[in-house]
Structure 1
């Protein structure tokens, strides 16, 4: 193969071992587009494969783990009529730790001129909008958000703009400062289970919260979320629980009569709707995610980006991997 038919891509060779390989340039099939990627966000869901899960096989797919890409369409498959070469898009595709990726034409959203030159990891932004919709947040509600990372920060902004009284709960002081900047009315350090419950009771006159969004993906935050939701309230599971089974206090959930919402969407049309809403919101200035992109790495340092996502160095919120 010639240089014109090859690309660089990251491949997870083994737990903790990400390698840069030469791979064949993918060719779009009917209804697909090829994107020359500008970058891809790093998702916390990447961390379990990075650490090693016994049911996964290695090496992984070329470009695999990367699912938050954006870039410019450079090739069209047959029957693609509403997109053109040169369109800048955010994509819902799954092999974007690479210089190029393929996506169905109905799984990309054009980025308007207002977003020119700006990074746009559309998949997690779209997720945040879908989670917000499923949360059914109304003005005056007390909303606890557990875990202020990228998704938690965006949800803090959306909920506070909707008129909710947001209580942000997170481990790091920098995360709580971020939540305040994004509209949280109250912040609580996530360090003592029973102290947090008592503090929320104080803030809500004993009523607890109308909505609780768990955005961590671990057992303790899930336990805490169940304690903080009021009778008849709604518990929204936004954290990605992929490292094994969970236990829930069904007795308490039954007694409280709460609604439990798994906010992860698998319907492609709904995922696309969230992405479109995110594009419109950022382009209009309704939300500015720029302060959340705190760490940027080139493709050949994607392993470092994953380590930073795990270890969260000072001020860390989200890592981006960008390509020349």
Structure 2
């Protein structure tokens, strides 16, 4: 099999290695699509060559080619997606209880289960209900996915926020009612401790992964509202807007480390994909071959107006 591995800053290589063998409760899949995730851009930017090769890729869609002894519910030929690793490759091993079938009639690149499961699981913990005023701050891949997922809950108002006009246009096309640049937000959408906050948001979904985006999101939450931090802030500290404390805002950590919860969310998300209520079609804008991993990350880093998400097609 062939696999891409990171060997230094911005430098990957494709090597030939022995085909992996699935364990008792695992499946071996031929990778047909693998999403390139923003959570991996940090290692790509700064990999220490002395640390040895690093194999990335956890957003996998694959066709089962072999199964372990206790993975009998899966059969060769099944098209699956789920939680895995080392997916920038032609073959990958995945746990049998961490994959689900790709909905019939859906293109593999439009059925990647892991990222939409992350978004759905985070949203499920916000208490979103019909009529809520909802804002999504940051309209990259994650934010545009959240716009689609939030829209199905019939919010009373759905507002997108991003400095990029192309991203704002995409949000409007995907169901946002209004879209603003952060510095053009109407005053009634911003917090001001001491006011009642009727014009602000019941739920704010932060999807920027940046301190400035977090500050904008915090300013939009109403008293007793909810701020869900979905963006990848990686490591280190981020300042807390103490107005959140004075407004009694509930802060939800959008990250989920629990596989059972993620698989439950993935099941819901794939049903939405099957029903065409969530679509990757407007989100997957760039496709790359396996040997073009570095080009895929460079496109993500540049984040041009035509870019939302890249997918490898080994």
Q: TM-score, length-normalised on structure 2?
A: 0.93
Cα distance between partner residues in 2 of 1:197 and 1:102: 50
3-state SS of 2:274 partner: helix
3-state SS of 1:74 partner: strand
Q: Label 1:116 to 1:175 Cα distance change in 2 as closer, same or farther (>3 A).
A: closer
Task: Indicate conservation of the 8 Å contact 1:92/1:123, yes or no.
Answer: yes
Cα distance between partner residues in 2 of 1:46 and 1:248: 25
Cα distance between partner residues in 2 of 1:120 and 1:36: 15
Match of 1:184 among 176, 179, 204: 176
Residue pairs, 1:268-287, within 5 angstroms: 268-287=259-278
Q: CA deviation at 1:214?
A: 0.5
Aligned residues: 309
Aligned equivalent of 2:51:
58
Cα distance between partner residues in 1 of 2:289 and 2:197: 49
Does 2:129 correspond to 1:123?
Answer: no
Does 2:190 correspond to 1:196?
Answer: no
3-state SS of 1:113 partner: coil
Cα distance between partner residues in 2 of 1:180 and 1:319: 21
Does 2:27 correspond to 1:29?
Answer: no
Q: Label 1:87 to 1:209 Cα distance change in 2 as closer, same or farther (>3 A).
A: same
Aligned equivalent of 1:217:
209
1:206-235 Cα distance to aligned partner (Å, 9 max, x none): 531111111011111111111110110000
Task: Indicate conservation of the 8 Å contact 2:33/2:109, yes or no.
Answer: no
Does 2:9 correspond to 1:20?
Answer: no
Aligned equivalent of 1:248:
240
1:41-77 Cα distance to aligned partner (Å, 9 max, x none): 11111111111178x973343xx22011101010111
Q: Label 1:32 to 1:166 Cα distance change in 2 as closer, same or farther (>3 A).
A: same
Residue pairs, 1:98-177, within 5 angstroms: 98-115=89-106, 119-164=110-155, 165-177=157-169
Task: Indicate conservation of the 8 Å contact 1:40/1:67, yes or no.
Answer: yes
Q: CA deviation at 1:292?
A: 0.9
Structure 2 residues without counterparts, runs of 5 or longer: none
Task: Indicate conservation of the 8 Å contact 2:32/2:108, yes or no.
Answer: no
Aligned equivalent of 1:3:
none
1:80-136 Cα distance to aligned partner (Å, 9 max, x none): 121111110002101101111111100000113232555422111111211221222
Q: Label 1:146 to 1:116 Cα distance change in 2 as closer, same or farther (>3 A).
A: closer
Cα distance between partner residues in 2 of 1:103 and 1:231: 44
Cα distance between partner residues in 2 of 1:176 and 1:309: 18
1:132-159 Cα distance to aligned partner (Å, 9 max, x none): 2122211221111111112211211222
Task: Indicate conservation of the 8 Å contact 1:12/1:58, yes or no.
Answer: no
Q: CA deviation at 1:201?
A: 4.5
Match of 1:296 among 287, 291, 299: 287
Cα distance between partner residues in 1 of 2:198 and 2:277: 33
Q: TM-score, length-normalised on structure 1?
A: 0.90
Q: CA deviation at 1:199?
A: 5.9
1:160-198 Cα distance to aligned partner (Å, 9 max, x none): 2211111100121111011001110110113x3xx5362
Structure 1 residues without counterparts, runs of 5 or longer: 1-6
Match of 1:320 among 299, 306, 311: 311
Task: Indicate conservation of the 8 Å contact 2:206/2:217, yes or no.
Answer: yes
